[in-house]
Each structure stands twice: as structure tokens, then as C-alpha cells.
Structure 1
Amino acid sequence: MATSADAFETSVAILPGDVDDIGHVNNIVYLRWVQEAAIAHWTAVAPPHVQRAVGWVVLRHEIDYRRPALPGDAVRARTWVSLADAVRVERHTEIVRAGDGTLLARARTLWCPLATATGRPLRVSDELRVLFSVPEADGRTLKR
């Protein structure tokens, strides 16, 4: 099973409009970073023919905010896939301050693969499981 130790990491940018009225990065920006990290991981790992055939839609996001990101912080997103059932994949993301490793937020997202040709849900294929080292849920239900 993949863990944060095997995670894909990428830098995320704090843009001028990301800072809210109380001087820290707005909570909705963390959601953008979760999405950016997932896309970067997918692009880095999936071969072009798979990227052309498979798209993704989010079914659920859960975010726990721990500490604020502040203007001038260098921020990294660390993401990994943990479980998959027939049509859903569970992805985890941690947002950390790069300088000291402080955990700023932790997210759990359920994704559903789609056939890009039809826009219809796809079963999680063996090829996707191998690409991301994703075990099946083994009878456990992924929370909705």
C-alpha cells in the first residue's frame, strides 16, 4: 500500500490573490493545491495513451486545516493513492511548509475515472492499480 513515504511531491505557488483579509492563504486555495498535486502526479506517472483515454472527476473532498500558510511561505504538496474499489480511488494529500516541514493541511479525496471518449465512469483497471501501486479495498467500503 502506498503511504506518504512513497508520495509524489510538488511545489505549489502562493499567488497574490490567494491571501485573504486576515493575512493568510484562503482555505479554498488549499483545494486548488490538492487538485494541482493530483494532476501533477497523474501527468508524471500515467503514460500518454492512458492520459488520453482516462479522465477524472471528484466525488468528495475532505480537508483538515492545521496551520495557516502565509505570504512568502514556500509550500509543497505531497500526494499518494491508497485504496481503490471498482469505480473509486482514494487519494491523500498533505500540504506542508517547505522550510520546516510543518503540516498545514491534510486532504482525502475520492476520485472516479471516466472514459474521455464518452464521459462515462470506468472501472479502476489493473493498469491504473499498477501505475499507482493501489490495492483494492478488499471488501472495505470507501467512505462516501
Structure 2
Amino acid sequence: MSDASTTTEMLIEVMPRDLNSAGLIDTAAYLRWVQAVVIRHWERFASKAAQDSTLWSAVKHVVSHEAAGRHEDHLVAHTRIKKLKGVRALFITTVTSGEKLLAEIESTWVCLDSSTKLPKALDPEVVRNFL
């Protein structure tokens, strides 16, 4: 796990809609949680001006399931930026239940200008806040 100063944590309450027909946490739930914790991470480190002028769009998720998650699990998602270059950022998010790793998700996001909706590189000052 990364240094707490560059990692964002989010507690997760597993809801019935998060389960598949076998009663296990569905992949779609992990993706919703990744979306939420990555945006929380952005909001934690970016200035209000950067938040107002920038949008993020996920373009790729790779989910590695390590253990089955269930409704009664107490989950925590942790995310951090592994790589930030140009208009792209690679986030690594883990979802754990206690000491048990349930899933690791690598997700690639593209930074967009909130007005034009076109890709844009982040300001160097914003990048320094993330790394």
C-alpha cells in the first residue's frame, strides 16, 4: 500500500444491488466504487479552480478479483495515482475486507476540459499535488 498522504480511502457499504445471482459482489459494483473513490481523490488534491475547469473520464478498467466479497463484508477502497502523463492518469484501486484483498483495479482516465470536453493536460501545479 502507498503512503497515506497520496492515497485516498473510502468506506463501502455493500448493498443488495451490489451482489450477483450467487450472492457475491458483482464486478459492476467494484467499477462504481472505483469511479467514486477516484473522483474523491481528485477532489481531495485539486484546487477548486482545477475542479471547475476539469472533468475526468474513465477509458479502461482492468479488474483482478483476488477473493470473493459478500454482503456482510466491511469494505474499504484505497486509490492512488501510479502514473500521470499528459492527459492520462493510471489509478490503482484496491478493495479490501479487513486484511483480505478482494480486488485490485487498474483504471486509465483521461483529463478533459470542462468547457470544450476535449482532452487537456493538467497544470504542472496540479500534477505536483497528486504525486
TM over 0.5: yes
Paired amino acid for 1:117: S
CA offsets, 1:71-101, max 9 Å, x none? 111100000002122221111100101xx32
Identity of aligned residues (%): 26
SS of the residue 1:32 aligns to? helix
Give the Cα separation in 1 of the matches to 2:25 and 2:60.
Answer: 22
Which of 115, 118, 127 does residue 116 from structure 2 map onto?
118
The TM-score, its normalising length taken from structure 2, stands at: 0.91
Instruction: Give the CA deviation at 1:118.
Output: 0.8
Partner of 1:66: 66
SS of the residue 2:3 aligns to? helix
Give the Cα separation in 2 of the matches to 1:92 and 1:104.
Answer: 14
Partner of 1:104: 102
Structure 1 unaligned residues grouped into runs of 5+: 134-144
Instruction: Give the CA deviation at 1:117.
Output: 0.9
Structure 2 unaligned residues grouped into runs of 5+: none
Instruction: Give the CA deviation at 1:29.
Output: 0.6
Instruction: Give the CA deviation at 1:24.
Output: 1.0
Give the length in aligned residue pairs: 129
| Structure 1: 4+ residue segments shifted above 6 A | none
Q: Is the 8 A contact 1:4 1:78 kept in 2?
A: no
The TM-score, its normalising length taken from structure 1, stands at: 0.84
Q: Is the 8 A contact 1:114 1:120 kept in 2?
A: yes
Matches within 5 A, 1:1-144: 4-6=2-4, 7-97=7-97, 100-133=98-131
Paired amino acid for 1:78: H
Instruction: Give me the CA root mean square deviation.
Output: 1.3
Paired amino acid for 1:19: L
SS of the residue 1:11 aligns to? strand
Paired amino acid for 1:76: V
